[in-house]
Amino acid sequence: MHDLLTYRDFLYFLVRRDIRARYTQTVLGVGWAVLQPLLTMIVFSIFFGRLADIPSSGVPYPVFSLAAVVPWTYFANSAGYAANSLVSNQQILSKVYFPRFLIPASPIGGGVLDLAIALTILLGVMAGFGFFPTVPNVLLLPVLVLALVIVTTGVGLWLAALAIQYRDVRYTTPFLLQLWLFLTPIIYPLSVIPSDLRWLYSLNPMTGVIDGFRVALLETGAVQWSSLALSFIVGTVLLVSGARYFNRIERVFADIA
Amino acid sequence: MSELDHRFAVRVTGLGKRYRIGLRFDREDSLFLTAARTLAAPVRNFRNLRRLRVFSDDEEPDVIWALRDVGFELERGEVLGVVGRNGAGKSTLLKILSRVTEPTTGTAQMRGRVASLLEIGTGFHPDLTGRENVFLNGTMHGMTRREVAARFDEIVEFAELEQFIDTQVKRYSSGMYVRLAFAVAAHLHPDVLLTDEVLAVGDAQFQQKCLGRMREVAGSGRTVIFVSHNRSAVSSLCTRAIWLENGRMAADGAVDDVLARYHESLLVGTDAELVHRADRQGDGRIRIVGISFRDSSGERMQTATAGSEVDIVLAYESGNERPVRGVSVTLILDSATGHRLATISNDFSGEDFGELPPVGELICSLRLPLTGGTYVWSIKARVGGGLADRVMDAAVLSVDGSEFYPTRRAPDIQAGELLLDYRWAAAEATFARGRESNAGTIGR
Ligand SMILES: Nc1ncnc2c1ncn2[C@@H]1O[C@H](COP(=O)(O)OP(=O)(O)OP(=O)(O)O)[C@@H](O)[C@H]1O
Ligand SMILES: [Mg+2]
């Protein structure tokens, strides 16, 4: 805890560095934070909305998918960057001491900026389709962002600590995240899952978060409190166990790096 | 930490670090295989996983102690040099002290803020500007943003990079990069500063500047641990030194004593076994295969008397077993603390050996006006100007300085390495005035 205070400025500059590295090295700069969810939305709308005619809880498929793609993009990108973070910072890890969790924390914290930009775009697209968030539901948003960050941090810590020990983790992470996307109500609504299986399905902590985003912004149905509660519970378990595992492995980072 | 005795800045007890060599090879690098094996043979695999962190008591062949039973205490303001051969455990010691890695046994306690410079420029990001890197690097070493800001101008001035500070560091020359990195490190103001081979980078002028800065840091009452292969830097910077040998402490004491002992150890047996030295340079047209020291009656000796004549006898072999011409030989004399004292060569004295037989001896006769201590000789041989053989630290010679002056008293090595032959006289005051006016004449 004392360490965190000492090194909080380092976290700030680390986040800045990661954001800068991401934006200045690319043709479009900040544009990617906007384009990535938008392009995903367009592709999903054409293939799943139009061609496959997947139900979208009574709202136009583009807004239906974008409301899910925005938080999912944050999760997938941040967890992916976190998985790589220790490996790509190995050199510093073996030379300088600072609390190690700052390294995966940086992309998770920095991703919040992308999330904010993407949420603004989402509100714009919603307005274009005549949707405006209304009061009781939209208040759920901060709670959902909190759940999202908890789940992302938990998964990110696990992946980071595993990736520095096992080479294959880094290469299979994108694939696993791809599978995970299909196991989460992103291209289809939660309602297609039979209700007696929903608790099982909601053990995936992203289920409650993603469905929550739709309910909060598009009022696609009633809040699934049990799914949301499961998101928090599973997310916290991931976070606590991830932090403990990370702590244990942390001591040998410098030796195996 | 609070119960630590106030006089001590660093206290290390029973420190040991065990590494499993070949760690990366015998452990599965793949989570998939590890999982598969765990399913196939859960018990054995669990044991394998534990082996990474848990060592059984009996010695295993693939385990080494990079550090063992190291203990010392430093008072505030002490400057400790750490010397030892490659792989002796110096970097490992600093990594433990800086908390980068954990010791297997023992404890290391430090008072106050610790900054470590295990490698200059670690964590610099090429896409960021000099300014951004200064902040990133400073905070990475535990400074706050405000502290970095307060020292920012000083850092930039030290690095002499005022015009380039807002340029991305990937556009820097390697010298500029190193200057900036050292400047940040030099302004960390820690209570304990740990440095590992920091002088190994940059040009000679910059190294001089770094050394000067290190001296300032040391002089300002900070505790410094300085790891270096540069013996003269260690001897000029440090008050105390420890010598690590295979992870253990071989000596701990006053810097010149430890350096001298360390140096002697490097040379043990070398004069007899020069022929076996493999770390030579040169094309081998001639090789120096033996060196010995003899007195005027031809007796071999281990200790020379300062001021009396010594023969340095070099046994050589020509590379192709034929006579050689155009041979020049250079002997380099260093003090045990690494000061270069003299370079002697038949080139300077204008002596030509003519055609040398394929095997033989070259003898250099000289007087050594040296203070008592150990001295180190290195040898170079050239044939027709091209380097044929070079053996660094080829032999060590002890010198006894006590017989040089008729009083049998002589300054010790701290007062300088040279014993000069001099005479004193007293003169009338007019003599001094006369010299003054002489000097005036020369000046005009
Ligand atoms: N991560 C590691 N895994 C396994 N062995 C290691 C590791 N790091 C160091 N060692 C071993 O520990 C020993 C001590 O290494 P160390 O780097 O401390 O030596 P050193 O005194 O700094 O040498 P040099 O003068 O070359 O810098 C060496 O035998 C080295 O191979
Ligand atoms: Mg080293």
pLDDT band at B361 (very low <50, low <70, confident <90, very high): very high
What per-residue confidence (pLDDT) applies to A78?
A: 94
Look over chain A and give the mean of its residue pLDDT values, rounded to a whole number. 89
- Chain Cα centroid distance, residue A82: 11
Dihedral pair phi/psi, residue B419, rounded to 5°: -110, 110
- Nearest ligand 1 atom to the CA of B21 is 4
Question: If you write DSSP's letter for every residue of B144-159 in order, what string do you get?
Answer: -HHHHHHHHHHHHHHH
B429 Cβ contact partners less than 8 Å away, ≥ 6 residues apart: none
Between CA B231 and CA B251 the distance in angstroms is 15
What per-residue confidence (pLDDT) applies to B260?
A: 85
Average pLDDT over residues A207-221: 91
Q: Are A74 and A110 in contact (CB under 8 A)?
A: no
Indicate if the pLDDT at residue B41 is higher than 70.
no
Q: Which residue has the higher pLDDT, B61 or A110?
A: A110
- Tell me the residues of chain B between 412 and 441 that have a Cβ less than 8 Å away from chain A: none
- Chain Cα centroid distance, residue A16: 19
**Polymer length in residues for chain A:** 257
Smallest CA–CA distance from B124 into chain A, residue: A92
Q: A17 and B128: CB-CB below 8 Å?
A: yes
Indicate if the pLDDT at residue A233 is higher than 60.
yes
Beta-bridge partners for B429: none
Indicate if the pLDDT at residue B53 is higher than 60.
no
What per-residue confidence (pLDDT) applies to B97?
A: 92
Q: Which residue has the higher pLDDT, A147 or B260?
A: A147
- Chain Cα centroid distance, residue B147: 33
pLDDT band at A72 (very low <50, low <70, confident <90, very high): very high
Question: How far apart are the CA of B120 and the centre of ligand 2, in A?
Answer: 13
How high is the ipTM of this complex? 0.84
Question: How far apart are the CA of B87 and the centre of ligand 1, in A?
Answer: 5
* Short-list A145, A164, A118, A151, CA closest to A216: A145
Between CA B436 and CA B442 the distance in angstroms is 10
pLDDT band at B81 (very low <50, low <70, confident <90, very high): very high
What per-residue confidence (pLDDT) applies to A154?
A: 96
Q: Give residue-wise pLDDT tens across range B261-285.
A: 887 777 654 445 677 777 788 888 9
Indicate if the pLDDT at residue B333 is higher than 80.
yes
pLDDT band at A146 (very low <50, low <70, confident <90, very high): very high
Indicate if the pLDDT at residue B151 is higher than 90.
yes
Q: Which of A14, A17, A254 sits opposite B95 (nearest CB)?
A: A254
Average pLDDT over residues A224-235: 93
Best probe of the A interface among B31, B50, B118, by most A CBs < 10 A, is: B31
Q: Which residue has the higher pLDDT, B360 or A250?
A: B360
Q: A166 and B34: CB-CB below 8 Å?
A: yes
Question: How far apart are the CA of B197 and the centre of ligand 2, in A?
Answer: 7
What per-residue confidence (pLDDT) applies to B301?
A: 81
Q: B100 and A94: CB-CB below 8 Å?
A: yes
Look over chain B and give the mean of its residue pLDDT values, rounded to a whole number. 82
Q: Give residue-wise pLDDT tens across range A122-138.
A: 999 999 998 898 888 88
Best probe of the B interface among A95, A106, A253, by most B CBs < 10 A, is: A95
Burial of B375 (0-12, 13-18, 19+ CB in 10 A): buried
B120 Cβ contact partners less than 8 Å away, ≥ 6 residues apart: B178, B181, B182, B185, B198, B201
Q: Are B59 and B68 in contact (CB under 8 A)?
A: no
Where do the domains of chain B lie, and which CATH numbers do they carry?
65-112+191-264 (3.40.50.300), 271-415 (2.70.50.60)
Name the strands in the sheet holding B286-294, side by side, starting at the edge strand that comes first in the sequence.
B286-294, B309-318, B359-367
Between CA B245 and CA A182 the distance in angstroms is 59
Token pair of A121, please? 């775009």
What per-residue confidence (pLDDT) applies to B49?
A: 57
Q: Does B101 touch chain A (CB under 8 A)?
A: yes
| Domain extent at residue A98 | 2-256
What per-residue confidence (pLDDT) applies to B268?
A: 58
Q: Give residue-wise pLDDT tens across range B2-27.
A: 444 567 889 999 999 988 765 444 45
Average pLDDT over residues B344-371: 92
- Could you say which DSSP state residue B21 is in? T
Q: Give residue-wise pLDDT tens across range B195-250.
A: 888 776 667 777 788 888 888 888 888 899 999 888 888 888 899 999 998 899 99
Ligand showing the shortest atom-to-Cα distance for residue B86: 1
Best probe of the A interface among B28, B101, B195, by most A CBs < 10 A, is: B101
- Nearest ligand 1 atom to the CA of B89 is 18
Average pLDDT over residues B58-63: 60
Question: Which of A94, A255, A256 best tests ligand 1's pocket when mutated (most atoms within 8 Å of CB)?
Answer: A255
Percentage, residues of chain B above pLDDT 90: 32
Q: Are B404 and B421 in contact (CB under 8 A)?
A: no
pTM of the model: 0.73
Give the number of domains in chain A.
Answer: 1
B25 CA to chain A: closest CA distance, Å? 11
- Nearest ligand 1 atom to the CA of B85 is 25
Question: How far apart are the CA of B89 and the centre of ligand 1, in A?
Answer: 6
What per-residue confidence (pLDDT) applies to B443?
A: 37
Burial of B180 (0-12, 13-18, 19+ CB in 10 A): buried
> What residue has token string 């005051």?
B429
Highest mean pLDDT among A146-150, B33-37, B276-280: A146-150
Q: Give residue-wise pLDDT tens across range B368-377.
A: 999 888 888 9
Question: Which of B18, B64, B101, B228 best tests ligand 1's pocket when mutated (most atoms within 8 Å of CB)?
Answer: B64
* Short-list B161, B185, B162, CA closest to B173: B161
Between CA A9 and CA A18 the distance in angstroms is 14
B257 Cβ contact partners less than 8 Å away, ≥ 6 residues apart: B251
Q: Are B107 and B14 in contact (CB under 8 A)?
A: yes
**Which chain A residues touch B99 with a CB distance below 8 Å?**
97
Please list every protein residue whose CB sits less than 6 Å from any atom of ligand 1: A 255; B 19, 21, 23, 64, 66, 84, 86-92
Smallest CA–CA distance from A159 into chain B, residue: B31
Indicate if the pLDDT at residue B433 is higher than 60.
no
- Nearest ligand 1 atom to the CA of B84 is 21
Average pLDDT over residues B104-124: 84
Indicate if the pLDDT at residue A27 is higher than 80.
no
